[in-house]
Amino acid sequence: MAAELVRGQNHPLPQARLEIRISAGSPVLAGATLGDERGTVRGAEWVAHPGAPTLPGIEVSPQAAAEHRLAVDLAALPEAVHRVTVLLALPERPGGPLRFGSLAAPRAAVTAPGGTEIARFVLTGLDAESAVVALELYRRQGAWKVRAVGQGYAGGLAALLADQGLASAAELASDVREAVARSLARAVPAPRPPDPSPASGSAQTGPAAAPREADPAGRRAADGPIDYTHPGRRSGTCPSPAQPPAAPPAASGGQPPRPVAGDAVGWSMDERLYNQVWGMFEDLARTTAAYRSAVDFAGSRLEKETDQALADPRVRLGAAGDAAREAARARHARLIEQARAALDRDVAQLTAESEVVEPALPAACARWDNPVWHGYRVPAEPPMALRLGDLHLPESAPLRIPLLARLPLERGLWIDSGSAPGPDDASPDSAGTRRLAMDVAVALAVRLLAVHPVGEFDVQVLDPAGTGAQALLPLTRTGAVTGPPAAGAAGVAAVLGRLTRRVDLVRMALRGGATDSLPPGFDAAQQLLLVNDFPHGFDDRAVNQLRYLVDEGPAVGVHLLMVADRADAAAYGPLLDPLWRSLMRLTPVPGDHLADPWVGHAWTFEPALVPPGSGILQQVLTEVTAARIKHR
């Protein structure tokens, strides 16, 4: 029974002699690289490709073909090899495909020499990539396993090889292209394999072994250098962690290397930036923990040593006692100084990293004053994360870490309009806090609206008493919200009733596995419900509906953004405690109420607010509504 692998999944390999069968809808070239235990390809001699098809333990086809069989003998591989990476690339030829996205999804299968399948993997979701890592065979504690990878490279074979640490990636890629071009020149249409044992494979790949006019195409390809990069894609987005887009000059003189944006793991640039931001968050949390524990230790040691000096009757009085206390204080000061130096060093490194990462962030994760918002266009794909605000710690106050939440939101958000004013005197009074809370909520709603493609996100507003009208102006004036803010108890009941029915319907459809039988004209867009002044205008029924939406909504695309003062809802008593607990609490004024998941420091949160006097919300919403009109 063959295992159907999904991306990232691994599967044990029962034997050393294997065959890897590739089938694609069009001729592709197949190759393999050998990596040592660190995954590094030590040189061109560790790459099996059409120009050098045979290496100890592995053999690939010398030409591009729609069907490949790679022979592998794991036992015959050099001792130092811990990883075999099986890759596919599109040969460059006029009229041929330039991107895997235009082909049927290639399939890769690991089989026993007899053809019995052990594991198979369909490389779905490829787009502009022209080279892809299909599978990886790797040695783990003496046993070999296969892992489905499916990592594509828009930068083509050269980018793929460079990613594996091969210094001569570009030359090797051009060698491969030449070898393929030579073989193309003498190629005959790849024969269909006599034994269609991966039967479903042939069926799915569609027109396998597409006919082609071999000779002229091949000769032309052999003449000039071939550009493997996809014309529609900037090379900057080509994922190759080994060669970051703005590779810094080699670090000199013991200086830490200059940080680079996107220097983290991930399948896309956005994901890598997201992971990098979380990495910076963790690093700052931990380096601060080191500093604080050193300071605590220094303090307790000083106390102990001072006590000792006092407890010893011989030295309690007189010069010896003073000297002992003086020495203890000096030790204390020296340790604090060292700890501060270590913290300063790490904070400086993180600050430098922040300086390159912030400008590179996509709009959804960027501050409102980031230039990316001035060049805002409605995106074609939803983002992976949203910036809720900034976090900082007192020891490293100028350094701000973006607080990013994964989308779609898993929890509702609660902007606490009753949050205690901050310690500084400039913080606003109660009315001012409420207004500020509403501004924060509107900025978040606009951000969510703007970063989703047209027709995939709607905002509805409940403002029962109309107190938020002023703050809501950017949304209402541009018509970016669906209908005017619902007012009064009747408005609240109508909107909540509609959303509750929607959640019911989608949940039923999902449970019954009948998502395609939703009523015609069903609006599939995610919904954000912005509630101001809770619980004003809410009766018991409405409160229950709201709790239902908070619990069940996120899973079916209905999200809540609430502006509320918990004291206003005190009449409900403990009934609403689960509601408050299930929401993520954010404050409109800086407040240290968020703990990191690693050491639990109290971080000061600052909301992502639009700079005073900026018209960016207006500009973004105008763009959103214009795109919507065009879309309809």
Partner 1 sequence: MTVNLSKGQAISLEKQDGASLSAVRMGLGWQAAPRRGLFGSRTREIDLDASAVLFADRQPVDVVFFRHLVSDDGSVRHTGDNLVGGAGQGGDDEAILVDLQRVPVHVDQIVFTVNSFTGQTFQEVQNAFCRLVDETTGQELARYTLAGGGQYTAQIMAKVHRSGSGWTMTALGEPAKGRTFQDLMPAIQPHL
For β-strands 385-392 and 401-406, DSSP reports them as antiparallel
Residue 15's nearest CA partner among 104, 83, 75 is 75
Q: Which of 3, 185, 290, 505 binds partner 1 (CB under 8 A)?
A: 290
> Which of 8/232 has CB closer to partner 1?
8
Q: Which of 124, 200, 235, 338 binds partner 1 (CB under 8 A)?
A: 338
Distance of CA 135 to the CA centre of its chain: 22
Residues near partner 1 (CB under 8 A), total: 26
The verdict on whether omega for the bond into residue 50 sits within 30 degrees of 0, i.e. cis, is no
Could you say whether residue 282 binds partner 1 (CB under 8 A)? Answer: yes
Q: Which of 8, 247, 598, 631 binds partner 1 (CB under 8 A)?
A: 598
Residues near 111 by beta carbon (within 8 Å), at least 6 away in sequence? 18, 19, 20, 21, 117, 118
Q: Record the tokens describing residue 157, joined without a space.
A: 């074979």
Q: How far is CA 10 from CA 4, 40, 225, in A?
A: 10, 20, 38
204-222: string of b/e by CB count within 10 Å (b at 16+)? ebeebbeebebeebbebbb
**H-assigned helices in 478-555:** 488-511, 540-552
Q: How far is the CB of 346 from partner 1 (least distance, A)?
A: 7
72, 78 contact by CB (below 8 A) = no
> Which of 38/581 has CB closer to partner 1?
38
Q: How far is the CB of 461 from partner 1 (least distance, A)?
A: 43
Could you say whether residue 281 binds partner 1 (CB under 8 A)? Answer: no
The footprint of partner 1 on residues 118-157 (CB under 8 A) is 141-143
Q: How far is the CB of 390 from partner 1 (least distance, A)?
A: 21
Residues 296, 283: Cα–Cα separation, whole Å: 20
434-457: string of b/e by CB count within 10 Å (b at 16+)? bbbbbbbbbbbbbbbbbbbebeeb
Could you tell me which stretch among 90-98, 335-343, 381-389, 421-429 binds partner 1 (CB under 8 A)? 335-343
373, 620 contact by CB (below 8 A) = yes
* CA-CA-CA-CA dihedral for 600, 603, 607, 611, to nearest 10: -150
For β-strands 65-73 and 83-89, DSSP reports them as unpaired
> Which of 52/342 has CB closer to partner 1?
342
Q: Which of 59, 283, 456, 551 binds partner 1 (CB under 8 A)?
A: 283
Give just the sign of the alpha carbon dihedral 135, 138, 140, 144: positive
**Coil, strand or helix: which one is 4?**
strand
Could you say whether residue 224 binds partner 1 (CB under 8 A)? Answer: no
> Which of 286/325 has CB closer to partner 1?
286
Q: Which of 19, 117, 129, 346 binds partner 1 (CB under 8 A)?
A: 346
Could you say whether residue 376 binds partner 1 (CB under 8 A)? Answer: no
> Which of 235/293 has CB closer to partner 1?
293
Q: Which of 104, 112, 185, 294 binds partner 1 (CB under 8 A)?
A: 294
Could you say whether residue 308 binds partner 1 (CB under 8 A)? Answer: no
Could you tell me which stretch among 43-51, 277-285, 397-405, 515-523 binds partner 1 (CB under 8 A)? 277-285
Site string for partner 1, 71-100 (x = CB under 8 A): ------------------------------
Phi, psi of 449 (to 5 degrees): -65, -40
Site string for partner 1, 244-273 (x = CB under 8 A): ----------x-------------------
Q: How far is the CB of 294 from partner 1 (least distance, A)?
A: 4
> Which of 202/287 has CB closer to partner 1?
287
310, 316 contact by CB (below 8 A) = yes
**Coil, strand or helix: which one is 613?**
coil
Could you say whether residue 286 binds partner 1 (CB under 8 A)? Answer: yes
Q: How far is the CB of 286 from partner 1 (least distance, A)?
A: 3
496-533: string of b/e by CB count within 10 Å (b at 16+)? beebbebbeebeebeeeeeeeeeeeeeeebbbbbbbbb
The footprint of partner 1 on residues 14-43 (CB under 8 A) is 37-38
Could you say whether residue 339 binds partner 1 (CB under 8 A)? Answer: yes
144-171: string of b/e by CB count within 10 Å (b at 16+)? bebbbbbbbbbbbbbbbbbbbbbeebee
Q: Which of 44, 298, 436, 448 binds partner 1 (CB under 8 A)?
A: 298
Distance of CA 92 to the CA centre of its chain: 32
> Which of 354/478 has CB closer to partner 1?
354
Could you tell me which stretch among 199-207, 279-287, 418-426, 443-451 binds partner 1 (CB under 8 A)? 279-287
Could you say whether residue 287 binds partner 1 (CB under 8 A)? Answer: yes
Could you tell me which stretch among 197-205, 287-295, 372-380, 467-475 binds partner 1 (CB under 8 A)? 287-295
Residues 72, 210: Cα–Cα separation, whole Å: 27
Could you tell me which stretch among 127-135, 285-293, 306-314, 425-433 binds partner 1 (CB under 8 A)? 285-293
Binding site for partner 1 (CB under 8 A): 37-38, 141-143, 254, 282-283, 285-287, 289-291, 293-294, 297-298, 301, 335, 338-339, 342, 346, 598-599
